[in-house]
Amino acid sequence: MQTIKINNLHKNLSDSFNLIVNDLNLEVGKIYGLVGPNGAGKTTLMKCLCGLLRPDDGMFEIDDEKVEVADSKILSQVGTNFVNSDSLKGFSLEDIYNDHVFYYGLNNLITIEKLLDEVGLSVNKKMKFNTMSLGMKQRFLLGLSTVHNPSLVLLDEPFNGLDPDGVDLFIENVRSLSKGRVLIVSSHVLRDMETFLDDVIFIERGKVLKAKPMHEIRNEYKEGLKDYYDEQKRKRD
């Protein structure tokens, strides 16, 4: 089984906050839930992994190749949904797709028609992004984040504002797009997350725990992920 290894990642944001990640091994084909209280460092970690924040130190190992976390080469290996939807107003889905392809310098990739089909969107590629529902936008951006075939995909609070039907459709897309890559999903919606996660990574005050299998959490805790989350918080208060 191939893995993505994150070692000695360190980011100092203030005198009271240091993000530290040591020996975090992530298996390709798995979906990980990144959970923790507000201000724990979830978004900071994700932004460090995709280059939106420059870590002070750290190393990736992807497919047995070492890459510095701050190296620009990491961009081709990571897909994200860190997109301000307001910035896409007025653009068609085709416009957004073409910009993505140009940015990554992609050739011989799936067409936009294939992308829309993969995420279950029966819409015209000329459709304006801002005319879609929130759930449709989330699914489109999820598909777009995997167009360049990244090894790692980071999804930050993807369920915000989705109705139950939208959540179900999004989870279905997440499962299908996790094949052959690592997905890390950060969310406060624990009930939805525990239905599709393979492992859980808990983070608080910048400290990241070793990933724990979701099936073990279900067996050990009556209320599943919620009980596990509450116990980890109590231990660190």
Predicted confidence at residue 139, as pLDDT, reads: 87
Whether this prediction's pTM lies above 0.85 is answered by yes
- Per-residue exposure over 7-36, b if at least 16 CB sit within 10 Å of its own CB, e if not: bebbbeeeeeeebbbeebebebebbbbbbb
- Give me the count of residues in the chain: 237
Summarised one tens digit per residue, pLDDT across range 66-89 is 766 666 666 677 888 766 677 888
Summarised one tens digit per residue, pLDDT across range 52-65 is 788 888 877 776 77
Predicted confidence at residue 211, as pLDDT, reads: 92
Predicted confidence at residue 31, as pLDDT, reads: 94
Per-10-residue mean pLDDT, the chain, length 237: 78 83 87 91 86 81 68 74 76 92 78 90 94 88 87 86 82 85 89 91 89 95 93 84
Predicted confidence at residue 43, as pLDDT, reads: 87
Predicted confidence at residue 83, as pLDDT, reads: 61
Predicted confidence at residue 94, as pLDDT, reads: 94
Q: Tokens for 81?
A: 């949904």
Predicted confidence at residue 124, as pLDDT, reads: 95
Find the Cα–Cα–Cα–Cα dihedral 139, 142, 148, 152, rounded to 10°: -150
Question: 3-236: CATH homologous superfamily?
Answer: P-loop containing nucleotide triphosphate hydrolases (3.40.50.300)
| Greatest C-alpha distance within the chain | 52
Predicted confidence at residue 71, as pLDDT, reads: 62
Provide the sign of the torsion angle of the four alpha carbons 29, 58, 149, 87, taken in this order: positive
